[in-house]
Amino acid sequence: MSAATISQNPPQTDGPRPVQIRTDLAGIADLIEVAFAATMDEAGRAAIRDLRMVNSYGPLMLIVTGLNHVLGDVQAGYVWSENGRIVGNVSVGLADMPRSLGTGYVIANVATHPDYRRHGIAKQLMELSLKMIRQRGARYAILQADASNEAARTLYRNLGFREERHFGRWYRSAHLRPPVRMPDMPYITMRTDREWQQEYALARMVRPNEQGGIGWQRPSHPDLFRPSLMRSLGLLVTGRTEKRWIVRATDGKSLIGALREETSFGGLDRLEMLVHPAFNGQLEEPLINFALRLAEDNFRAVSIEHPMDDAPAVQVLEKYDFERRYTTVSMRIDF
């Protein structure tokens, strides 16, 4: 790895220092690529390519290409340099969470070059980042850790983070045949706008925020369920569509199951599934069966992020040939 690919004007001081966007992007990209080579997916590789593109063409590229999101997780934080080479990084960015939950920050790209591990670099960079976050008056910080990386999880716990929940990221290829309709399907229908509060109540029960909410940066919050013009415009601008399907309780006043399908142009069908605890083991398969038959109409692959402690759902995903690609742990520290 040559110095030219590390940064355009590498600082001469070794050790920790704040990220410098104008000079550090290429070095951060190189480090992340090396540090996460064994686990990086296509989305990660795309992010690396975007970082290098912005580094090559400068800030104007952000405006021309709409790549402002590229700097979302590297706009602040710290790097560690050795002989002008970036060998450690912790990126910090504002959390994309509802304002009513307070200001929070996301910690990401915690990476140390393999040749420099076990020297306390990640710990020092994390401590500096947390100090900066506190000084900015944040209420909390969040991060995701690889569930299999016990060393990283131990570091974060020692710094005061608590683990919320393990989430599996599952994927089903578009080349697989759709399932046959189950003979005894419950009545699954589209949710009306008036029923958003019932779906929100179900989410608060099944996915409490103390356990990571709906998923990564998706707290169980009214904004995720309540219809609004801004939400509709956001979907339209980003080329996404959203459908919500529900199973009503016999009294018609509450929901016992919910399924959200988000489709992006040229992308995956992303699912979110909620099942009332009283119906665990009864609704998971009908909802997944239903969702896969919908996806087949569009010839799309399907992905879902779901809690690993939900055994009935995990069994259904395995039965329907979903591949679990990652298991992450959501972690949080409150100030």
Residue 81: pLDDT above 90? yes
Residue ranges of alpha helices (H) inside 58-171 are: 60-65, 121-135, 150-158
E-only strand ranges, 42-120: 76-82, 85-94, 104-112
3-138 fold? Aminopeptidase (3.40.630)
Query: Comparing 3-138 with 169-326, is the CATH topology the same?
Result: yes
Average pLDDT over residues 277-304: 90
Q: What is the pLDDT of residue 330?
A: 96
Question: Could you state, in order of their start, the residue ranges of all structural domains in the chain?
Answer: 3-138, 169-326
Distance from C-alpha of 113 to C-alpha of 186, rounded to nearest angstrom: 52
**Number of neighbours of residue 35 by Cβ within 10 angstroms:** 20
- The angle, 0 to 180 degrees and rounded to 10, between the axes of the packed helices 284-298 and 311-319 is 40
* Residues sharing a CB contact under 8 Å with residue 19, sequence separation 6 or more, in sequence order: 28, 74, 75, 76, 77, 78, 79, 89, 91
Distance from C-alpha of 251 to C-alpha of 255, rounded to nearest angstrom: 9
pTM of the model: 0.84
Report pLDDT digits (tens) over 12-25: 578 999 998 878 88
Q: Kindly indicate the confidence band of residue 264, based on its pLDDT and cuts at 50, 70 and 90.
A: confident
Find, among 161, 158, 163, the residue nearest to 147 by Cα.
163
Q: What is the pLDDT of residue 57?
A: 62
Q: Is the domain defined by 169-326 classed in CATH 3.40.630.30? A: yes
- Please give the structure tokens belonging to residue 108: 């990401």
Average pLDDT over residues 74-83: 85
Sign of torsion over alpha carbons 160, 76, 25, 62:
positive
Average pLDDT over residues 173-190: 93
Distance from C-alpha of 211 to C-alpha of 1, rounded to nearest angstrom: 41
Residue 311: pLDDT above 80? yes
Percentage with pLDDT > 70 across the chain: 86
Q: What is the pLDDT of residue 67?
A: 42
Q: What is the pLDDT of residue 55?
A: 67
More confident residue, 22 or 258: 258
The residue type found at 69 is H
Q: Is 55 helix (H, G, I), strand (E, B) or coil?
A: helix
Residue 73: pLDDT above 60? no
Distance from C-alpha of 283 to C-alpha of 123, rounded to nearest angstrom: 44
Q: Is 225 helix (H, G, I), strand (E, B) or coil?
A: coil
